[in-house]
Amino acid sequence: MEITERQQNDISIFSLSGRLDSNTSPDFEKRLFDVMGQGSRRMVVDFGSLDYISSAGLRVILKATKDIKRAEGVFVLCAMKDYVREVFEIAGFDAFLPIFTSLEDALQQF
């Protein structure tokens, strides 16, 4: 999996490509929490090029959502493939985690 990270104003944007599974989730978790550790409270994860997510990937997203909410920050996801989005819906994560169809839409929420 490839993770690219950039800043736009005070928003951290992570773009994932490839597979977020039990082998790659620890790396993504570290990157997310490093950025939070540096004080970032506004984050977007762009799933546009992500082909696969496992429950290990969901676990990282759930953990980040809880931590950012606790810090009164904003955490949103965007641009998921239909079958990836379905996993979030089946898990019920869409009830507390905003998922936008495009990065552009997601950035308008800040």
Partner 1 sequence: MDAHAIQFKLQNRLSDLKILSRNLQAFGERQGLPQKCVFEINFALEEILTNIISYGYCDEQPHWIKVRIALDGETLTIRVKDDGRYFNLSEVMPPEINCPLEDRRIGGLGIFFIRKFMDRIVYERRQDTNILTLKKQIRR
Q: Which residues bind partner 1 (CB under 8 A)?
A: 19, 21-23, 52-56, 58-59, 62, 65-66, 69, 82-84, 86-87, 90-92, 96
Indicate the residue among 55 and 102 with the shorter CB distance to partner 1: 55
Indicate the residue among 30 and 66 with the shorter CB distance to partner 1: 66
CB atoms within 10 A of CB 7: 11
> Residue 60 and residue 52: Cα distance in Å, rounded?
14
Indicate the residue among 59 and 109 with the shorter CB distance to partner 1: 59
> Residue 62 and residue 60: Cα distance in Å, rounded?
5
> Residue 35 and residue 17: Cα distance in Å, rounded?
19
The least CB distance from residue 89 to partner 1, in Å, is 11
Indicate the residue among 57 and 106 with the shorter CB distance to partner 1: 57
The least CB distance from residue 8 to partner 1, in Å, is 26
Q: Is 10 exposed, middle or buried (0-12, 13-18, 19+ CB in 10 A)?
A: exposed
The least CB distance from residue 83 to partner 1, in Å, is 4
The least CB distance from residue 50 to partner 1, in Å, is 11
Q: Scan for tokens 């490509």, then name that residue.
A: 17
